[in-house]
Amino acid sequence: MNNLPKNIDELAVAATAEVDDEPTRLTVTRLAVAALIGAHARNAAGVHGRAMDRMER
């Protein structure tokens, strides 16, 4: 998880490097941002779950 982009601009540039038309560029950027948010949310949920497990012990 540590290799995820932290900056939305960095993500947009990387995600759309091979895309030439603007509507597709916006769609790809939106999908990439959604994936980034989902990955961070899953990571945060995992950290929270592990913390709760430790508290129960």
9-34 pLDDT, tens digit per residue, is 777 777 777 777 878 878 888 888 88
**pLDDT recorded at residue 5:** 64
Here the tokens at position 20 are: 């030439």
Q: Can you give the residue ranges of every domain in the chain?
A: 8-56
The share of the chain scoring above pLDDT 90, in percent, equals: 0
The CA distance from 14 to 35, in Å, is 13
When pLDDT is cut at 50, 70 and 90, the band that residue 1 belongs to is very low
**pLDDT recorded at residue 57:** 66
The more confidently predicted of residues 2 and 53 is: 53
The CA distance from 25 to 48, in Å, is 34
Taking a C-beta distance cutoff of 8 angstroms, is the pair 4, 36 a contact?
Answer: yes
